[in-house]
Structure formats: structure tokens, C-alpha cells
Chain A
Amino acid sequence: MRFISKYRRHRFAGPLLLLGALLFAALTYSAAQAVTEQATLSQSDKATLIAEGKEIFARGCSSCHGLNAEGAGVGPSLIGVGAASVDFQVATGRMPVADMSQQIARKDPVYNDQEVAALAAYVASLAPGPAAVTNEELAWERDGNMAQGGELFRNNCAMCHNLAGQGGALTQGKYAPTVMGVEVKHIYEAMITGPQAMPVFSETILTPQEKLSIIKWIKHAETEPQLGGAALGRVGPVTEGLVAWLLGLGLLIGVAVWLTAKAR
């Protein structure tokens, strides 16, 4: 301690201390930098992921999409479709496809998250395309506007997906699936990639904020309590008519039979 007290008023003490502090800050910064880089991907890890994806692709996808994703008779080329498309198609179970008769239906996913990420990385490595998103980075609760989202939904989505988002029929057995119970990132990815019969909603048509508004409206509709009683499938007057005839008139005719039955 005598060393410090002896030299603390030395004329180099100030500059030296400053230098030391700067060195410390620089070292801490570079160390932290190194840590984050490790957390994302080192160049070699990324290459491993792509290689892994390529292997899964060769095993599970290449029979339709070609060995290098260049497309074959059945499946289209995947060069340039981007990671978003892969994430949507594979993580919602649409790919690999089970039944191609009308349209590719949603089902339990075949690959786990790690495998989906690998496939997405591989396809993204072929050519640039829309990047996959995560549920966390879509701040729909903060940035979305529900009323605006509803209006946008009715303008852009309802003609196929129904006013209540329950899905609707397209031609020749094709259909727009329900948007209820779909993960946030998949709704977003569907809008930016336009899977199957769905059009692409580019940023000039719907800004990212507007997309988040639509998501907010959908998520609200999904969790909204059934105001007014049993929803009857949320498909409108068809089930209402069925209930009026079978339950309403049915009950009343039952009562009429009872009222006019002969006392025994």
C-alpha cells in the first residue's frame, strides 16, 4: 500500500491510470464480443449446420426437389425460396408432403426444431431469400394495433380465410386453412413467402408493422371468450339454421306432442 500512497501524486499517475482503464474496457469489450460471436455461429459451426441440413435434405427432400434443390418433376426448385419458406413448410408439417391430391395439408411436423433450422440454413445458403423469423423477435403485442389489424385482415385475408379466420373453400377441393392456432412466426412467414395458393404480401402491400397488427388481431380472436354463448363453429348462418330447426323447432314439436298426448 505504501507504493500507491508514495506514487499517487506522481505526474504520470493520471495518464497511466487512464491508459489502464482504457485497456481494461477494451479487453472486456473484445472478450464480450467473442462470447456473442460464439453464441450465434462461428463460421465453421454455420458450415456444420449447412452440411447437416444438406444431409437431411438429401435423405428426406431430394427425391422430389432434386439432389441440389434444383427442382425435379414433382417438387419445385428451392433455390432462392429462403429460410422463411423452409421454416413455414417444414415446421408446420406441410413438408415432407404425405398427400399431394388437392393441396398440401398441415400435419404434425416430421423434423424437430434443430433439423428444421439445419434445413433452413442449407436452403438459405443456396441463394438469398426471405429469412426465417422467431416468435420472440416479432413484437406484435407491443407494435401491433388490433383494430387496424382487423381492418387489414378483412381487406386482405378474409376473402379466403373467412371473416372469423376459420378458413374457406377455394376451387377444386383446395382451401385456405384456418388461421386460428397457428404460431406467430408461421403466420408472418406465410405472409412473406406466400405458400401454395396464397399470394406474397410484400412490404409495399403490408408493412412489417401492419403484419404485426394482423397477427395481434388473429391472436385476440383466438383467445376471445365466446361472447354470446356457444360459438357453433363460428361459421355463421348455416349452423344457426341447423340449430333453429333441430334444437329449436325440435324441442317445440316435442312439447306439442306432449301437450296433445292423450292422458292414459
Chain B
Amino acid sequence: MSARERVAGQVANYVDERTGSAKWLKKTLTKVFPDHWSFMLGEIVLYSFVILLLSGTFLTFWYDPSMREVEYEGSYQPLSGLKMSAAYASSLHISFDVRGGLLMRQIHHWAALIFMAAMVAHLMRVFFTGAFRKPREFNWIIGVGLLTLGIVEGFLGYSLPDDLLSGTGIRIAEAIIQAIPVVGSYLSFFIFGGAFPGEMFIQRIYVVHILLLPGIFLALITVHLMLVWYQKHTQYPGPGRTEKNVVGYPLMPTYMAKAGGFFFIVFGVTAFLGAVASINPIWIYGPYNPGQIGAGSQPDWYMGWLDGLVRMAPPLEAYIFGYTLSLNILIPGLIIPGIIFTGMALYPFIESWITGDKREHHLLDRPRNAPNRTALGAMSITFMLVTLINGGNDLLATHFDLSINQIMWFSRIGVIVLPPLAFVITKRICLSLQRADRELVLHGRETGRLVMLPHGEFIEVHEPLTPEKAYLLTQHEQLPALEANLSNEYGVKNPKVIRSKIRSRLSRSQAEQIAKPTANDVKELEGGHH
């Protein structure tokens, strides 16, 4: 034993005698993580969250969450002497008169955009690989909760500088709140402490932005990670990988180094963007004034789809008992997002109801082997993209010489027509890929080598797959469709016959697959002409 090892041992012993951590550490440090880039997406979210906490703390040192009117006396000349809120003045102060302030503001904002983008990318990975299946449904719901809160948190942060652009966003939020039937106006008065914009709003959202939501975030992220820890990581299928093991590298030293290094890379990329690319230049927008508005006002991207939905809504209004119901805001601003997020949260349960599969799954699906799910994902992404495009319709119009009205009509029709189209096309692509997999297993890889047989016939030489590859292409299971349960064994009609029929219809669609080759198929082929 070298001197160094002896000292390390003594230190470890000292700590263990006082904390009893050795047993826990031994188990923890050897925990295995599977190796795939798509498993790092969640880490990007976690690391950007840490960056947000750190840079955000820096900003709170100078930010003044007050709507008190002040006269600007800072160093940005074009706003000199203007009346503005203390919140906006202090944001300008951070940008121009605090050393490193603008860089920190930009890092904070870029980190927020990347936080949300990585969260969506992580969500797509989990969805398309079926990682949300039993036992991970709760974690999926927590994830949906984090996404929803992330949108709110981002929007509140974007609103804090109280510039003309973000004030416009709050004005729209106020309109959406007011569109809630019956309680809308009361709720708006409650939130703003009176008529818009009031004098309370900034300090209220400040507390929510820096205390309440980050606290909830920390709690939810902790539970999210603890569940990942407890349930073990999922892994992609392959030789040697089963539902009962995890193939990968131990936390210590491999993943400690990879994950630790990755944190600094995430920080580096965020700081790089903060240093070279301007984001939210609030000094150009000017202080918020409810009487002013700018053409081409947009929210941050994660709100863009919502803005796009509201922008494409036809002017529908209903009058009930002398009250106006603003359906043009209510439907796109609240009802559709409500349906989307509820549906997303319930999806694991919906899918297992349709397939009747209540077993645990730790091996991931290749997206092509779950055509309906993959098609549903493509459909949702298409829906979001169309609404996002309409959220930027004014900029698309000016930059690509288009008519804003045409973009709006494209979106109105596209948002209904394109997602189902994406579903059908994606499903067909998945089935084609399954067919290609089957061909590959049965006939091997086409080598492109042509051989002339003695009797003059030309054949192309097919090379058989390696067993590993063949295993990967055939390991998945194909569940049969559930039959509708019309009556029980005594001939008594099932009282839930309609539900059973719907389920059976959905299940048949789910089970529409290209039959994977069986051992018999392979044997038959080998006995045949090949």
C-alpha cells in the first residue's frame, strides 16, 4: 500500500465512522449507466437549470422588482431622462452599468431557452422509445409537470425586465385570464391587484419566479432523479441486454467524468452564446407603456405555439345571459393547451389500456416497432410546428415576401389537415422500415457483388447478418390485437360493450405490424434456394 492509498483510506475511514456512508457510497458509485447520447438530453436540462440558478442569483443582486416610477439616469443615452419602472431601470442598470451584467443576463436567457429546448428533446426521446411505460408513468407525469412549469417560469422571467416587448406578453396573458368564463375578470383583478397593469404585478411574479417555482422545480427534479435512480435506467435493446439488467459503465469513475465534464461543456456553450449573440435587447424595446405596441412582437419560442394558436383563431364570440364569452381566446388560449397537456400526462395509461400491456418495461422500443406511437408523436410535432410557424407569421411575411393572411389561412387549414397526414405518412414509413428489417434478416445484406453461375445465371451475393444484428432486428415482441369483449361466457351482454369495441378498434390499429421473421422462416429459407 502506497502512502497515498493509506492516507485516502484513513480519510475514507474517518468519514465513514462518522456518517456510515461507505455502504451507500459503494452501492452508489458502482451504479451502472447505459451509454447513449440520447440519455444525455435530460442532463442538459439539469445542467442548464444549475446555470439558471447561478446566473439568476447574480441578477437578483441588482434587479429591483418594483413598478415605482423612476427617471432613468443610467448610461444608455437614448433612454436618458425617460420615466420608467424601477424594474426596467434596474434591468438597464444590470445591462450597462454592472460589470459582467449584460453577459450574465444573456447567459441566463440563453440557458432558459436551451433548458426548455433540451426538455422538449428529452421528452421526445422518452416518448418515441416508450420509456414512459410501467413502472415509469409517475416520472412521465412529473416530467409533464416540469415542462408546464418551465413554460410558466420562462414566461415570468421574460416579463420581469418590464420592457415594451414583455409587457405586451403580459397584456396577452391578461386577456387569456379574462377569457375564463365567470371568474376571468375577478381572477385578473386578483392577480394584478386591480386594473391592468396595476402596481403589484412585477413584485408578485418576481417572488414566483425566483422562489416559488424554482423551489417546486428543485423538489420535482429531485423526485424525478430519485425515481430514475430507484427504477434504474432504461436501455436500448441489444445482445446481453435484458429487462433485468443494465449494460453500461459505472458512475465512478466513467460517468462521473463524463457527466461532470458535460456540465462544464453545457456551461461553456451557454456562456459562448451569451458572449457572442445578443438576446432580448431590452434597451431597444423601451419601457413598458400600455399605450404602445411594436409590430412583430413575439414571445420566446416555448410560448410561440400558444401565440400561434391565438393568432389563427377566427373571431368567435358568444353572448350568454348578457355576458360575452371570448371563444376566440378561450379555445386556443386555454382549452386546446389544456387538452394537449392532459392528454400528454395521461398518455402512458391510454397506451397501456389500448395494448392491454400491463407489464414492466426496461428495454426501450425502436420507434419503428411501435408505429402508432411514433406516428402519434410525429402528428403532435407537426401540430406544434404549424402553430409555431403561425406564431411568427408577421416575420415570415416580411422576410419571405408572403402575405400574413395567406400564412394564417395556411395555418388554419394546416393545423387540422397536416397532423393526420403526418400520422399516416409516419406510420407507413415505420411499416416500411419493419419490412426492410425483415428482408435484412431473411436475406442478409446486399453486397453489390454479382456472380455469374456456370450456367450463365447472374446472382447478387447476400451476406448474412451478424447474430448480434439479427438479434437486434428480431428481439422486439409484437402484441396481438385485443378482441372486443361483446358478451361473457354465459352469453350475457357486456355492459361496457361500446368501450370494449373502441378499445378493440384502437388495438387493431396498434397491432398493425409487419410480422417479424421467426426462426422457422429463417430455417425454411436456409433449406430453400439460398
Q: Given the interface contacts A158-B295, A159-B293, A235-B395, does A253 sit within 8 Å of B81 by beta carbon?
A: no
A-B contacts, 11 of them at CB < 8 A, read A154-B289, A172-B403, A230-B277, A234-B281, A237-B304, A244-B113, A244-B301, A252-B114, A252-B118, A259-B37, A259-B261
Please tell me if B262 contacts chain A, counting CB pairs below 8 Å. yes
Closest to B275 in A: A229
**Cα distance, A161 to B394, chains bound together (Å):** 12
Contact present for A252 and B165 (CB under 8 Å) = no
Contact present for A241 and B300 (CB under 8 Å) = yes
Please tell me if A200 contacts chain B, counting CB pairs below 8 Å. no
CB distance from A99 to the nearest CB of B (A): 11
CB distance from A40 to the nearest CB of B (A): 38
**Cα distance, A40 to B135, chains bound together (Å):** 90
Contact present for B37 and A260 (CB under 8 Å) = yes
Chain B residue numbers with a CB within 8 Å of A161 are: 295
Chain A residue numbers with a CB within 8 Å of B398 are: 167-169, 175
Give 13 A-B pairs besides A150-B286, A240-B109 with Cβ atoms closer than 8 angstroms: A147-B81, A151-B82, A160-B295, A171-B404, A228-B106, A228-B277, A228-B279, A236-B280, A238-B304, A244-B113, A244-B114, A249-B44, A249-B114
Please tell me if A4 contacts chain B, counting CB pairs below 8 Å. no
A: contact size bracket: 35 or more
Closest to A153 in B: B286
Chain A residue numbers with a CB within 8 Å of B301 are: 237-238, 240-242, 244-245
Chain A residue numbers with a CB within 8 Å of B392 are: 238
Q: Given the interface contacts A147-B79, A237-B301, A248-B269, does A256 sit within 8 Å of B295 by beta carbon?
A: no
Contact segment of A23-31, A64-72, A87-95, A219-227: A219-227
Please tell me if B492 contacts chain A, counting CB pairs below 8 Å. no
Chain B residue numbers with a CB within 8 Å of A85 are: none
CB distance from A107 to the nearest CB of B (A): 14
Please tell me if A257 contacts chain B, counting CB pairs below 8 Å. yes
Contact present for B404 and A169 (CB under 8 Å) = yes
Q: Given the interface contacts A164-B284, A220-B78, does A229 sit within 8 Å of B276 by beta carbon?
A: yes
Which of B109, B296, B297, B404 is the most central at the interface, judged by chain A CB atoms within 10 Å of its CB?
Answer: B296
**Cα distance, A166 to B302, chains bound together (Å):** 23
CB distance from A182 to the nearest CB of B (A): 16
Contact present for A158 and B114 (CB under 8 Å) = no
Contact present for A240 and B37 (CB under 8 Å) = no
Contact present for B41 and A169 (CB under 8 Å) = no
**Cα distance, A244 to B294, chains bound together (Å):** 23
Closest to B388 in A: A241
Contact present for B78 and A147 (CB under 8 Å) = yes
Chain B residue numbers with a CB within 8 Å of A229 are: 106, 274-278
Please tell me if B350 contacts chain A, counting CB pairs below 8 Å. no
Contact present for B110 and A244 (CB under 8 Å) = yes
CB distance from B385 to the nearest CB of A (A): 12
Contact present for B35 and A243 (CB under 8 Å) = no
Contact for B262 among A221, A238, A255, CB less than 8 A: A255
**Cα distance, A226 to B275, chains bound together (Å):** 12
Contact for B102 among A217, A227, A240, A255, CB less than 8 A: A227
Closest to A248 in B: B114
Q: Mark B401-433, 1 if CB is under 8 A from A, else 0.
A: 111111000000000000000000000000000
Please tell me if B292 contacts chain A, counting CB pairs below 8 Å. yes
**Cα distance, A247 to B266, chains bound together (Å):** 12
Closest to A259 in B: B258
Closest to B274 in A: A229
Q: Given the interface contacts A150-B286, A158-B294, does A248 sit within 8 Å of B110 by beta carbon?
A: yes
CB distance from A150 to the nearest CB of B (A): 5
Please tell me if A102 contacts chain B, counting CB pairs below 8 Å. yes
**Cα distance, A168 to B106, chains bound together (Å):** 25
Chain A residue numbers with a CB within 8 Å of B393 are: 169
Please tell me if A117 contacts chain B, counting CB pairs below 8 Å. no
Chain A residue numbers with a CB within 8 Å of B258 are: 259-260
Please tell me if A119 contacts chain B, counting CB pairs below 8 Å. no
Which of A150, A164, A234, A249 is the most central at the interface, judged by chain B CB atoms within 10 Å of its CB?
Answer: A249
Contact present for A154 and B269 (CB under 8 Å) = no
Contact present for A252 and B298 (CB under 8 Å) = no
